[in-house]
Structure 1
Amino acid sequence: MSTWAIGIDIGGTFTDVVALNYGGGALRSLKVLTTHGDPAEGVANGVQALITECQIDSRQVKRIVHATTLFTNALIERRGEPTGLLTTEGFRDVIEIGNERKYDLYDLNIEAAPALVQRRWRVEIGARMDADGQELAPVDAEQVKRAVAPLIEEGVKSLAVCLLHAYVDPSHEIAVRDILKQAYPDLDITLSSDVAPVIREFERTSTTCANAYIKPLANRYLTALQRRLSALALPTDVLMMLSNGGLCHVDEARRTPIELLESGPAAGAISASHYSARDSLSDLLAFDMGGTTAKLCLVENGNPSIAYGFEAARQRRFAEGSGLPIRITTVDLIEIGAGGGSIAYRDALGLLKVGPQSAGSEPGPACYGLGGEDATVTDANLLLGYLNPEYFAGGTMNIDVDLAGQQLGKIGDEVGRDKVGVAWGIHDIVAENMAGAARVHVAERGRDPRDFVLLCTGGGGPLHGYYVAQKIGVSKLVCPPAAGVASAYGLLVAPARADRSRTVSVRPGSDSLQTLESAFADLETQVQISLNALEATFGPVRISRYADGRFAGQGFTLTVPLPDGPYHGPGASDEASVRAALLTAFEAGYREKFGRTPPDVPIELLNLRVSGEAPPRQKPPHEAVPTGATATPKARRNVYFRECNDYVDTPIYDRATLCAGFQAMGPLLVEDAGSTLVVGPRGRVSQSLSGNLIVDILEQA
């Protein structure tokens, strides 16, 4: 009997569902509109429709993997539960004081991101540790209950506990949790020592509060999801995609839902890495454009870039410091407010602008006919001929070219252009916004974008990739199979992963290696315990060690990989060799980032990090791609290309009919159920044995 795995990715506009047959490698997909009132309803509808269409017996489904933007949106829209904060005396206002940096020095009306916890719901207790973990004042059980009682009376459902120096010794926070669990068993409690056991009070408190804020919502949603899957006789032990690009069990996600914030975009980066490996392309710019946003991730040597923190719910989308700092391990992404639903408008200067506001799925772009009255990127692409109105989302939706033209015409009247000029302007602005962000993102990492391949996924990536590539100087473009649902597919090829960290200040050149090894060994044990629940389907586990280090006297740290352990005890090299290896590892990372190291300054390792990764034991097979160089267009239509400054009679190919060895010069379009690849007049497209479509962009004549 064939076995199937199902991947589900909830986006701002569409919910993507894919089913993979492990018997023959068949991949089937479906897009449905996201149901924002009850996202689990859209998931259930999509899964039901797909298994019915593919005639899948629910008993054949062995694995369900899920990613969602639900919790990110809850932070942005402030839709979490009433949340309180219990902290050490004197630290009640840390989440409002922040780091006292202005993200815009010249804006006199600047506003910081509002705190997730109202001031009246922040309470203090006298329990206190010093920086070495020595107790200065014990936990008073009666004081804890007195402090929290008014919050319970006012309806607080979730509590963040963030006590001073709990990253050194969590015993006070654990004692507080035990007291409150006995007194208020229905209260959701988040400890900073569980979520972010690292220094810097503002960032640690912000992360803890964010987890507490979304935790009740996450538990309700995951319970509703499991209930709906159970009603379909499908497995309920769902795997969840984490922001770090790995999978965890649903029970782990309930404990720390903050780790799911970037799960959808992370799945897209994993998918890009997987597809590129088929053609030995190791250095990529993974460009994923959906209905609401576009994301870009740098992939080097086949591995997506990783960061150890990001900002959520920014006041200004592109202004660093204007959001809530979240200290979790995440795939390093840039995000642009440019998706299919991004709204075009005339600004105060009379200029055409696009995004970041989005029409989403409710009411959606004007062409959906669901009441949307704003011109969007999708409307522009439809008028330009890039989208097929009879095959949108695989023919599951009817879209109206006339409605799109009406709204584009209104914008045209405002900016003094015809509707075709407005449509091209929208398409070009989106490409320039993405290219500009990509240039900065790549340059900040000391790389040249011309050395990379642009891999396009999402419903909008293949539509815009041709012009984005030219703007950033990339000459090769890759569009993988099922690009429109690549993030959902990425869920099915992702490894299981767990990351743990803690603050331990060590100078590897002189301090005790036993202390360092003991701390790393403890973190590795935590990682192993987390991954043990998945060992039947994922393994073996590969453990990697990292550290946030600095030269003594510096204010900030740099994360670098460290040699494998142990550093002390049985199996370790001699002490001098271990110390030399640790120092060399940090200096190498520092030189790569900054070019040189300061002379005669000791190195400090401040935060220790351990990552554990376990690949799927059952690899998804690939459907065989038939060979044959010839292919016949399924249709022709007029499509606008800037190089021609006009509409061009353009062949339209059905991707399912293309064989390995197919080659053609643009202009042309290649359609499948989830996306359309645009190949302009300077593009030459070929299909590889892997199923990837590869576009080489020729030099301008």
Structure 2
Amino acid sequence: MGSHHADKGLALTTWAIGIDIGGTFTDVVALDYSEGALHSLKVLTTHGDPAQGVADGVRQLMQTCGIRPGSVARVVHATTLFTNALIERRGSTTGLLTTRGFRDVLEIGHERKYDLYDIHIEPAPALVPRNLRAEIGGRIDGHGQVLESPEAADVRRAVAELVEKGVESIAVCLLHAYAFAGHEQQVRTWIEQDFPHLHVTLSSDVAPVIREFERNSTTVANAYIKPLAKRYLDALEARLIALGLPKGVLLMLSNGGLSHIEEAKRNPIELLESGPAAGAISAAHYSHRDNQSNLMAFDMGGTTAKLCLVEHGKPYIAFGFEAARRKRFAEGSGLPIRITTIDLIEIGAGGGSIAHCDELGLMKVGPHSAGSEPGPACYGLGGEDPTVTDANLVLGYLNPDYFAGGTMTVDRHKARDALSRIGAGMGLGPLDVAWGMHDIVAENMAGAARVHAAERGRDPRDFVLLCTGGGGPLHAYYVAQKIGVGTIICPPAAGVASAYGLLVAPARADRSRTATFRPSSGRLAELEEAFRNLEAQVQDSLASVDATFGPIRLSRHADGRFVGQGFTLSVELPEGPYLADAAGEPAVREALTAAFEFAYREKFGRTPPDVPIELVNLRVTGEAPPRMAFVPKSLEAGQRATPSDMRDVYFREAQGYVKTPVFQRSDLRVGFSAEGPLLVEDTSSTLVVGPKGHVEQLASGNLVITIKEH
């Protein structure tokens, strides 16, 4: 059927399975390469033992689709468990080993307040309290020269004291280790000799870049979640092997690429934005199908909503973000993490988000979520708080008999009762409360979208909104109007798009290091050697997945600045090698300078005159696409679909319920075209098209909604 027959090792493997654990649902997707078909299932996330929910879901889907374990080429997984562990402070007891005199870097930070006028301001508490931080001798200068070597006895004494206090994971972050990693590596050897049970994280492995606070924060966060990650990933792999599935699960990283499970156990910090990244990758994939290169990817699940810009078919990438913020939109209120990540904005608005009244008597929705345990009131699992899912059920957007593809029943009366309780205090009926909640969520998301686009110098009205997740298609119609977007795309199996993104994503590795270089005068041979070393590290990292991914494409990047600036801008550099004879050298220097100046002008409009440029951090990215390409079966043309049902659905434009046709997505054929209002249901989500909308089914499987202003 396609390229996979070219690889003898993959000739009999015709299936791939993707698993995405969210705060409310665990999504499982199976791709049948021989038929070009996608099968999916949603099960409630089992928070006590997440691997159990995964195993149950995979077993169920394999039975339903008749999948033989031997025919599965690969299993790919994304999870938000490690992010939640950071937010909820459920990691391991962690110690920090640092250079003498630098014990308090974690708390000193930048000495900046994230909210100048808040007299009750709370900084993000350090993951490692002061009594679990130890200092050792040894010193390196900023150029990597050894001034003093650490001593084994000093290290052993410090670690023994930490172990006595219950530490099970230790972060080693020595001054200037980005310039010379030898001391940290020696310290690890001594620790492993005497304390083999300890989990050890080195800053030179996790974040070998300048800025002491960020490097400390990233290293400590990795150490904090490492034991939890190892326990979970070991349990997951054992459960999947028990089902007969292949060893070597692949994990989605925050950068939108895949990595082998062993790599993920070493540096679980790279998985923090794992689930949202998968959603962005699936959006980019769907954008290629209909040549829509500029997208605003809107993914709303049960707990959170995410938004990411996709330009020229690629999601924006950032080289750091803040985890576990005290205030959601306040920069500086969280833990700075220096990893490569898809650049997205996240708000606490999902199907499980709870409505409440604030001190002024105004209704707010989120960020607290009912999750899957106990879940929204309509689940009948003990939840009594009114949630967004309850509101959508009362508005008629959800089918109580076909929720999550009919795998669970929901109770409209319980939803209505929960909304009535909060409405009583405000003098509102359940319908007004339901619409208010739906409208607030749309406004929250639209506000985040406007800010996110503006910060990147973009106008959101120039983009097409692509909606995924269980809640994206439910809310996109009103979100789009608030932003000013006129076109919405709803891809096939939108409710499990993140799990699908796992199976079309490339394998990817990113490596970085600090190496200050001026394009105008630095030695090109040294720059080339530094990039070659990083490229070798990337290729080593991707070697374990070479059988199913390839060929590798390498690209070079750098964080640059004009000399004297305190901030850096990440830019893509021209392809190497940067070696040239005396005649060609000026051309290489000019190309490096031009790459930075172009990116700087694009972001800020102009460059300062006569100021030299310096590259501070060097980065290499390696991407390898799946060798087995999934070609979805094209939709057939056919006669006009007929509604499977008529339902009372609330639309603001009509100021009340409207008798609305409900279509089954599986019944739609190419050429289907209809005016709103209407609903389109499938097993994982419901698409709401209001009175101003017109929907059309494309051959790619995408549904396109055009909003007409009357």
TM-score (norm 1): 0.99
Q: 1:552: which partner in 2?
A: 563
Q: 1:71: which partner in 2?
A: 82
* 1:447-596 equivalent positions in 2, closer than 5 A: 447-568=458-579, 574-596=584-606
1:573–1:15 Cα change, 3 Å: farther
What SS does structure 1 have at the residue aligned with 2:609?
A: coil
What SS does structure 2 have at the residue aligned with 1:673?
A: coil
Which deviates more, 626-635 or 477-486? Answer: 626-635
Does 2:620 align with 1:610? yes
Does 2:264 align with 1:242? no
Q: Distance in 1 between matches of 2:698 and 2:145?
A: 63
Q: 1:256: which partner in 2?
A: 267
Q: Given the alignment, which residue of 696, 701, 709 partners 1:691?
A: 701
Does 2:364 align with 1:365? no
Q: Given the alignment, which residue of 602, 610, 619 partners 2:629?
A: 619
Q: Distance in 2 between matches of 1:569 and 1:444?
A: 39
Does 2:152 align with 1:141? yes
Query: Given residue 79 of structure 1, which amino acid in structure 2 is its aligned partner?
Result: R
Q: 1:282: which partner in 2?
A: 293
Q: Given the alignment, which residue of 609, 612, 622 partners 1:599?
A: 609
Q: Distance in 2 between matches of 1:573 and 1:688?
A: 54
1:330–1:579 Cα change, 3 Å: same
Kindly indicate whether the alpha-carbon contact (under 8 Å) linking 1:367 and 1:401 is maintained by their aligned counterparts in 2: yes
Output one character per residue of 1:332-365: Cα deviation in whole Å (capped at 9) or x when no partner.
0000110000000111000010000000000000
Does 2:649 align with 1:639? yes
Does 2:666 align with 1:660? no
What SS does structure 1 have at the residue aligned with 2:425?
A: helix
Does 2:133 align with 1:114? no
Q: In the TM superposition, what is the alpha-carbon distance from 1:236 to its structure 2 partner?
A: 2.4
Q: Distance in 2 between matches of 1:422 and 1:120?
A: 49
1:385–1:519 Cα change, 3 Å: same
Query: Given residue 697 of structure 1, which amino acid in structure 2 is its aligned partner?
Result: I
Q: 1:380: which partner in 2?
A: 391
Query: Given residue 697 of structure 2, which amino acid in structure 1 is its aligned partner?
Result: Q
Query: Given residue 589 of structure 1, which amino acid in structure 2 is its aligned partner?
Result: A
Query: Given residue 362 of structure 1, which amino acid in structure 2 is its aligned partner?
Result: E
Kindly indicate whether the alpha-carbon contact (under 8 Å) linking 1:2 and 1:23 is maintained by their aligned counterparts in 2: no
Q: Distance in 1 between matches of 2:637 and 2:113?
A: 59
Kindly indicate whether the alpha-carbon contact (under 8 Å) linking 1:567 and 1:573 is maintained by their aligned counterparts in 2: no
Kindly indicate whether the alpha-carbon contact (under 8 Å) linking 1:6 and 1:63 is maintained by their aligned counterparts in 2: yes
Q: In the TM superposition, what is the alpha-carbon distance from 1:569 to its structure 2 partner?
A: 5.6
What SS does structure 2 have at the residue aligned with 1:356?
A: strand
Kindly indicate whether the alpha-carbon contact (under 8 Å) linking 1:393 and 1:673 is maintained by their aligned counterparts in 2: yes
Kindly indicate whether the alpha-carbon contact (under 8 Å) linking 2:13 and 2:70 is maintained by their aligned counterparts in 1: no
Does 2:684 align with 1:674? yes
Q: In the TM superposition, what is the alpha-carbon distance from 1:535 to its structure 2 partner?
A: 1.3
What SS does structure 1 have at the residue aligned with 2:654?
A: coil
Output one character per residue of 1:259-296: Cα deviation in whole Å (capped at 9) or x when no partner.
00001000000001111211100000000000000000
Q: 1:209: which partner in 2?
A: 220
What SS does structure 2 have at the residue aligned with 1:228?
A: helix
Q: In the TM superposition, what is the alpha-carbon distance from 1:199 to its structure 2 partner?
A: 0.4
Query: Given residue 635 of structure 1, which amino acid in structure 2 is its aligned partner?
Result: D
Which deviates more, 325-334 or 628-637? Answer: 628-637
Q: Distance in 2 between matches of 1:281 and 1:522?
A: 37
Q: Distance in 2 between matches of 1:660 and 1:162?
A: 58
Number of residue equivalences: 699
Does 2:60 align with 1:60? no
Query: Given residue 485 of structure 2, which amino acid in structure 1 is its aligned partner?
Result: V
Q: 1:420: which partner in 2?
A: 431
Kindly indicate whether the alpha-carbon contact (under 8 Å) linking 1:2 and 1:21 is maintained by their aligned counterparts in 2: no
Q: 1:343: which partner in 2?
A: 354
Q: In the TM superposition, what is the alpha-carbon distance from 1:629 to its structure 2 partner?
A: 4.7
Query: Given residue 605 of structure 1, which amino acid in structure 2 is its aligned partner?
Result: L
Q: Distance in 2 between matches of 1:231 and 1:164?
A: 45
What SS does structure 2 have at the residue aligned with 1:643?
A: helix
What SS does structure 2 have at the residue aligned with 1:548?
A: strand
Q: In the TM superposition, what is the alpha-carbon distance from 1:528 to its structure 2 partner?
A: 0.7
Q: In the TM superposition, what is the alpha-carbon distance from 1:15 to its structure 2 partner?
A: 0.2
Q: Distance in 1 between matches of 2:328 and 2:72?
A: 40
Q: Distance in 2 between matches of 1:555 and 1:276?
A: 37
Q: 1:429: which partner in 2?
A: 440
Q: Distance in 2 between matches of 1:599 and 1:176?
A: 47
Does 2:56 align with 1:31? no
What SS does structure 1 have at the residue aligned with 2:117?
A: coil
1:466–1:629 Cα change, 3 Å: farther
Q: In the TM superposition, what is the alpha-carbon distance from 1:648 to its structure 2 partner?
A: 0.1
Q: Distance in 2 between matches of 1:562 and 1:612?
A: 14
Kindly indicate whether the alpha-carbon contact (under 8 Å) linking 2:580 and 2:588 is maintained by their aligned counterparts in 1: no
Q: Distance in 1 between matches of 2:685 and 2:506?
A: 26
Q: In the TM superposition, what is the alpha-carbon distance from 1:256 to its structure 2 partner?
A: 0.3
Q: 1:389: which partner in 2?
A: 400
Query: Given residue 680 of structure 2, which amino acid in structure 1 is its aligned partner?
Result: V
Query: Given residue 643 of structure 2, which amino acid in structure 1 is its aligned partner?
Result: P
Q: 2:345: which partner in 1?
A: 334
Q: 1:165: which partner in 2?
A: 176
RMSD over equivalenced CA pairs, Å: 0.9
Q: Distance in 1 between matches of 2:670 and 2:509?
A: 38
Q: Distance in 2 between matches of 1:121 and 1:138?
A: 23
Kindly indicate whether the alpha-carbon contact (under 8 Å) linking 2:355 and 2:365 is maintained by their aligned counterparts in 1: yes
Q: Distance in 2 between matches of 1:456 and 1:563?
A: 34
Give the 4+ runs in structure 1 shifted more than 4 A: none
Q: 2:4: which partner in 1?
A: none
Query: Given residue 321 of structure 1, which amino acid in structure 2 is its aligned partner?
Result: G
Q: In the TM superposition, what is the alpha-carbon distance from 1:624 to its structure 2 partner?
A: 2.4
Does 2:58 align with 1:47? yes
Query: Given residue 208 of structure 1, which amino acid in structure 2 is its aligned partner?
Result: T
Q: Distance in 1 between matches of 2:693 and 2:583?
A: 55
1:615–1:150 Cα change, 3 Å: same
Kindly indicate whether the alpha-carbon contact (under 8 Å) linking 2:380 and 2:414 is maintained by their aligned counterparts in 1: yes
Kindly indicate whether the alpha-carbon contact (under 8 Å) linking 1:629 and 1:663 is maintained by their aligned counterparts in 2: no
* 1:218-237 equivalent positions in 2, closer than 5 A: 218-237=229-248
* 1:297-336 equivalent positions in 2, closer than 5 A: 297-336=308-347
1:508–1:415 Cα change, 3 Å: same
Q: 2:5: which partner in 1?
A: none
Q: In the TM superposition, what is the alpha-carbon distance from 1:628 to its structure 2 partner?
A: 2.0
What SS does structure 2 have at the residue aligned with 1:503?
A: strand
Which deviates more, 100-109 or 621-630? Answer: 621-630
Q: 1:84: which partner in 2?
A: 95
Does 2:96 align with 1:96? no
What SS does structure 1 have at the residue aligned with 2:545?
A: coil
Ranges in structure 1 where 5+ consecutive residues have no aligned partner: none
Q: Distance in 2 between matches of 1:573 and 1:184?
A: 57
Does 2:306 align with 1:295? yes
Which deviates more, 226-235 or 681-690? Answer: 226-235
TM-score (norm 2): 0.98
Q: Distance in 2 between matches of 1:569 and 1:507?
A: 17
Identity %: 71
Output one character per residue of 1:13-66: Cα deviation in whole Å (capped at 9) or x when no partner.
000000001111111100000000000000001001111111111111121000
Q: In the TM superposition, what is the alpha-carbon distance from 1:573 to its structure 2 partner?
A: 8.1
Q: Distance in 2 between matches of 1:304 and 1:328?
A: 16
